[in-house]
């Protein structure tokens, strides 16, 4: 799979609505689009997901470009790649920096699928033709706005509602939401805002029949989560704590969670994401695809991954219009009746909308191999 050129683009796009979590508010998304070009004129695309500040994981947009330019692109240049899985192996000597690795590996996966003239979903072994979709709603300024957002999301057909919580805006808030919507599928995401000292408080969540509570405790913890899971009925889902298949195996052994949120960027790419999926499928651990407020390229990768059979729960792969006034792909990702139809065209299955991409591109650089 000889690569002729890598193009790196720095992109900045404003979200329609600021997104607030227990760790802060995000208004502008800055990311890189990586394009891998072969000698036959095929173009593969990947998108980086790290934010500008390291509050979700340690990576940032700046660490991403450092890794790409000074380590990862040179490794691709110096080595022969026969299959996208090789990229993960080649990047192994570089510790962590999973989001930077995933961005470039994603471009290679798309290129690989396009060279075979098959969809990325098919290249990964996914068979679903449509996927169920949920929506993640950030912390809202008032209860009225939150209820309004939920109503709107239900009208659009989203199959489960994820609400961000933080100390002071949790049990009471969810209880009130439950009074308005007694039966809808709701889950809560704590984004590591709690500790074991909150155990009595978190136990109160059990009365609210939530689908799950996502990452309530430390961003790097699996031990305390196991202690919490032992005393609450609500299933725990790990997000921030999972960076690899090894992490999943250890969390499973300890009983730290019943569900795993798989994010391609957080685990270092599609190859590892697929391995995690395969392990979870074998051991009966439910998985779903998480989101990082991606633009169209990253979203397309998430959709392809979700076609694997073990993705039994709706993911955070909402439609383009939930995030952007205009997306960098065409067609944009559309959610109908809470589902996305998986494109069957080669690779990610969506065209790049260069008119939009160029508009939001701050700079671009080419690396000739
Ligand atoms: O914890 O899953 C999270 C967004 C930014 C950082 C972390 C998270 C999220 C989301 C939104 O929940 C997911 C999405 O809609 O892309
Ligand atoms: Mg989360």
Distant-in-sequence, close-in-space partners of 208: CB < 8 Å, separation ≥ 6: 171, 174, 175, 178, 186, 234
HSE, CB side, 13 Å, CA atoms: give it for residue 345: 8
Quote the ligand 2 centre to 189 CA distance (angstroms).
6
- Is 149 annotated in the active site? no
CB atoms inside a 10 Å sphere around CB 75 = 16
Rounded (to 5) percent helix, strand, coil in the chain:
40, 25, 40
- CATH of span 3-118: 3.30.390.10
Catalytic residue among 29, 114, 159, 263: 263
Asked if the model's pLDDT at residue 208 lies above 90, the reply is yes
Rounded Cα gap, residues 124 and 45, in angstroms: 16
Query: What ranges do the domains of the chain cover?
Result: 3-118, 122-341
In this predicted structure, what is the pLDDT of residue 307? 98
Over residues 313-350, the pLDDT tens digits come to 999 999 999 999 999 999 999 999 999 999 999 999 99
Residue 297 phi/psi, 5-degree rounding, is -70, -50
Q: What is the mean pLDDT of residues 171-176?
A: 97
In this predicted structure, what is the pLDDT of residue 24? 84
- The CA-based dihedral angle spanning residues 17, 21, 27, 31, taken in that order and rounded to the nearest 10 degrees: -120
In this predicted structure, what is the pLDDT of residue 369? 95
Closest C-alpha to ligand 1, atom 1: 191
Hey, which of 297, 316, 321, 327 would you mutate to test ligand 1's pocket, going by the most ligand atoms within 8 Å of its Cβ? 316
Over residues 275-284, the pLDDT tens digits come to 999 999 999 9
Lookup result for tokens 């059990």: 206
In this predicted structure, what is the pLDDT of residue 22? 81
Quote the ligand 2 centre to 90 CA distance (angstroms).
29
Q: 189 a known binding residue?
A: yes
Over residues 286-304, the pLDDT tens digits come to 999 999 999 999 999 999 9
Quote the ligand 1 centre to 73 CA distance (angstroms).
27
CB atoms inside a 10 Å sphere around CB 149 = 17
Over residues 50-101, the pLDDT tens digits come to 999 999 999 999 999 999 999 999 999 999 999 999 999 999 999 999 999 9
pTM score: 0.98
Domains 3-118 and 122-341 share a fold: no
259: exposed, middle or buried (Cβ count in 10 Å: 0-12, 13-18, 19+)? buried
Q: What is the mean pLDDT of residues 192-213?
A: 97
In this predicted structure, what is the pLDDT of residue 259? 98
In this predicted structure, what is the pLDDT of residue 176? 97
Residue 130 contacts residue 340 (beta carbons within 8 Å): yes
Q: 239 a known binding residue?
A: yes
DSSP string, 18-66: EEEETTEEEEEEEEEEEEEEETTS-EEEEE----SSTTSSS--HHHHHH
Asked if the model's pLDDT at residue 23 lies above 90, the reply is no
286-289 and 259-262: which strand pairing?
Answer: parallel
Rounded Cα gap, residues 301 and 315, in angstroms: 13
For residue 219, give both structure tokens: 């961003």
Task: Provide the ipTM.
Answer: 0.99
- pLDDT band per the 50, 70, 90 thresholds, residue 244: very high
Domain 122-341 fold is TIM Barrel (3.20.20)
- Is 263 annotated in the active site? yes
Q: What is the mean pLDDT of residues 88-116?
A: 98
Residue 274 contacts residue 302 (beta carbons within 8 Å): no
HSE, CB side, 13 Å, CA atoms: give it for residue 133: 28
Sheet containing strand 361-368, strands side by side: 43-47, 24-38, 3-21, 361-368
Asked if the model's pLDDT at residue 219 lies above 90, the reply is yes
Alpha-helix runs per DSSP H in 284-340: 296-306
Rounded Cα gap, residues 198 and 288, in angstroms: 26
Ligand 1 binding pocket (C-beta < 6 A) is 56, 136, 189, 191, 239, 290-293, 316, 318
Rounded Cα gap, residues 77 and 343, in angstroms: 31
Catalytic residue among 10, 114, 164, 274: 164
Rounded Cα gap, residues 64 and 52, in angstroms: 10
Residue 310 phi/psi, 5-degree rounding, is -75, -10
- pLDDT band per the 50, 70, 90 thresholds, residue 21: confident
Over residues 150-167, the pLDDT tens digits come to 999 999 999 999 999 999
Residue 45 contacts residue 106 (beta carbons within 8 Å): yes
């Amino acid at each position: 799979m000889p690569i002729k050129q890598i193009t790196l683009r720095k992109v900045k796009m404003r979200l329609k609505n600021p997104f607030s979590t227990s760790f802060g508010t995000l208004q502008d998304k800055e990311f890189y689009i990586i394009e891998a070009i072969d000698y036959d004129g095929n173009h593969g695309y990947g998108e980086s997901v790290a934010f500008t500040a390291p509050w979700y994981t340690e990576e940032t947009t700046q660490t991403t470009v450092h890794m790409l330019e000074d380590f990862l692109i040179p490794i691709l240049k110096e080595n022969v790649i026969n299959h996208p899985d090789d990229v993960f192996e080649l990047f192994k000597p570089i510790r962590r920096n999973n989001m930077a690795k995933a961005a470039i590996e994603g471009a290679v996966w798309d290129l690989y699928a396009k060279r075979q003239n098959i969809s990325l979903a098919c290249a990964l072994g996914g068979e679903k033709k449509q996927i169920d979709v949920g929506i993640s709603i950030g912390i809202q300024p008032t209860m009225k706005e939150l209820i309004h957002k939920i109503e709107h999301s239900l009208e659009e057909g989203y199959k489960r509602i994820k609400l961000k919580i933080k100390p002071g805006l949790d049990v009471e808030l969810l209880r009130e939401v439950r009074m308005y919507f007694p039966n809808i599928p709701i889950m809560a995401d704590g984004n590591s805002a709690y500790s074991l000292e909150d155990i009595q408080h978190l136990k109160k969540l059990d009365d609210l029949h939530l689908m799950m509570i996502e990452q309530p405790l430390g961003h790097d913890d699996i031990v305390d989560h196991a202690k919490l899971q032992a005393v609450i009925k609500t299933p725990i889902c790990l997000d921030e704590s999972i960076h690899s298949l090894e992490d999943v195996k250890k969390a499973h052994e300890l009983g730290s969670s019943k569900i795993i949120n798989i994010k391609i960027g957080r685990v270092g790419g599609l190859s590892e994401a697929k391995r995690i999926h395969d392990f979870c499928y074998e051991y009966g651990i439910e998985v779903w695809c998480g989101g990082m407020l991606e633009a169209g390229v990253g979203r397309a990768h998430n959709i392809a991954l979700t076609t694997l059979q073990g993705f039994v729960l709706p993911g955070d792969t909402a439609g383009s219009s939930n995030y952007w006034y205009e997306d960098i792909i065409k067609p944009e990702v559309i959610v109908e009746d809470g589902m996305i139809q998986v494109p069957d065209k080669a690779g990610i299955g969506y065209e790049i909308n260069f008119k939009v991409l160029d508009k939001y591109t701050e700079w671009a650089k080419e690396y000739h191999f």
